[in-house]
Amino acid sequence: MKVLVVGSGGREHALCWAIAKSPKCKKLYAAPGNAGIADIAECVKIDADDITALVDFAKSEKIDFVVVGPEVALVLGLVDQLEEAGIKAFGPNKAAAQLEGSKAFMKDLMGKYGIPTAAYETFDEPDAAKSYIMRQETRLVVKADGLAAGKGVILCHNKNEAYAAIDHMMIERAFGEAGDEILIEEFMPGEEVSFFALVDGETAVPLAAAQDHKAVHDGGTGPNTGGMGAYSPTPVVTKKLQKQIMDDIITPTIKAMVDEGCPYKGVLFCGLMITDEGPKVLEYNVRFGDPECQVLMARMKSDTLEALLACTNGKLDKLEIDWHSDTALLVVMAANGYPNHYEKGSIIKGLDVAAAIEGINVFHAGTKTKGKKVVADGGRVLGITALGKTVKSAHKAAYKGVEAIDWAEGFCRSDIGWRAIK
């Protein structure tokens, strides 16, 4: 079949890599793709949020199956429009994508159906938000309601920081209209886990858990990023805890979406805090995590394309997924300055050397080709991935790959996997 993957990050490179291995895949396209993806798929110059152009391309090329990577296209209704055109697509429709597109929708749903999460209030007016803060005794988190590229969340240490966060979102409008409505929620202490399940509307199949590293520097310091590294599986999520997550969170969420008239299809990515009171939802995402997807794909033994198709076709009840028992660990190499200002265009060398090391996969996250050279074209640029019997050995192997990359304009964290290694 002809498959189109939408997106240009490390997640999409990993999806393309996994899908290309399927005997079912006869032709693979990516829009817009990147320099790494170009080695395995035909890249077409269409942005991931250009819904009209994507649908037109899928129609004219007679694409059989579209796999949507990023949330923006889902929230804009790409899947609805593809289905209207008779083209199968992996991912939720616009109504179901609200689960990520609107934090107020997600929190109201959890409140209504008793799904464990942090206590919260919503506000569309700064003075009311501030007087609420004045009355609170616990640590707070201020969040913009809409999509803000992962940056619309401010963890406040005290009331002054919370006031400043409100001004930043509602008065300075740092995230535009995403901050017209805000949420203030209690801070949940605990260990954070990314949990993934495939959902076909009614049935949910657990994929695996992974752990991301959001902060830019070692030890979890510095500003939050899209994720600086990941590993899977994570020792925190035991078999027993996985069952609890399915029973208390995933299954009730799927039922709630059916009851609300917007059944969920696609991958459901639950950001969880494992607290002393059990797992609680930080947020839902309606797509694979990036960089979590890369470690999931590195571990998945089953045919990924078949799994995604089963999900779209409502056949998950018949699906069994096999995994490598090894741990996969990924180190993100980012452009100096990220997540703040960084330069594009620096030349990356050593990619072949790293890729030639046994067991190493180099996933491109923000690259493009310039003549015969590969240059940096984003904040997160590469994801060096390795498998190992333990988190420690996967860590060692991945950093061997990192050492082979010759790129002075980039940096990485040196402690990916530290929680599990400790």
Residues that bind ligand AMP (CB under 6 A): 118, 141, 143, 150, 153, 155, 185, 187-188, 192, 214, 271, 282-283
CB 383 within 8 A of CB 350: no
DSSP 84: H
Count residues near ligand GLY (CB under 6 A).
8
The C-alpha atoms of residue 157 and residue 138 are separated, in whole angstroms, by 9
Which residues, numbered 343-372, are part of the site for ligand GLY (CB under 6 A)? none
Cβ neighbours of residue 324 closer than 8 Å, sequence gap 6 or more: 298, 299, 300, 301, 387
Q: Does 285 bind ligand GLY (CB under 6 A)?
A: yes
| E-assigned strand segments in 10-58 | 27-32, 42-43
Indicate whether 212 belongs to the interface with ligand GLY (CB under 6 A).
yes
Contacting ligand GLY (CB under 6 A), which of 69, 179, 227, 229? 227
Token pair, residue 37, equals: 């993806």
- Contact segment (CB under 6 A) with ligand GLY among 55-63, 284-292, 352-360, 397-405 equals 284-292
- Beta pairing, strands 182-186 & 204-212: unpaired
Q: Which is nearer to ligand AMP, 181 or 185 (CB)?
A: 185
R_g of the chain, CA atoms, integer Å: 21
188 binds, options ligand AMP, ligand GLY, none, Cβ within 5 to 8 A by partner type: ligand AMP
Q: Does 229 bind ligand GLY (CB under 6 A)?
A: no
Is 101 an interacting residue with respect to ligand GLY (CB under 6 A)? Answer: no
Interatomic CA distance for residues 235 and 227, integer angstroms: 19
CB nearer to ligand GLY: give 295 or 335.
Answer: 295
Q: Is 12 in the site for ligand GLY (CB under 6 A)?
A: no
Name which of ligand AMP, ligand GLY, none residue 227 binds, using a CB cut-off of 5 to 8 Å depending on partner kind.
Answer: ligand GLY
Helices (H) and strands (E) in the chain, counts: 15, 23
For tokens 């959001």, the residue is 214
Please name every residue paired with 67 in a beta bridge, in sequence order, or none if there are none.
Answer: 5, 90
| Rounded to 5°, angle at Cα 37 from 33 and 43 | 45
Binding mask 288-327 for ligand GLY (x = CB under 6 A): -xx-x-----------------------------------
**Residue placing its CB nearer to ligand GLY in the complex, 116 or 150:** 150
Q: Are 48 and 72 in contact (CB under 8 A)?
A: yes
CB of 267 to ligand GLY, least distance (A): 11
Q: Based on the shown chain and the rule CB under 6 A, indicate whether residue 192 belongs to the binding site for ligand GLY.
A: no
Binding residues (CB under 6 A) for ligand GLY: these are: 150, 212, 226-227, 285, 289-290, 292
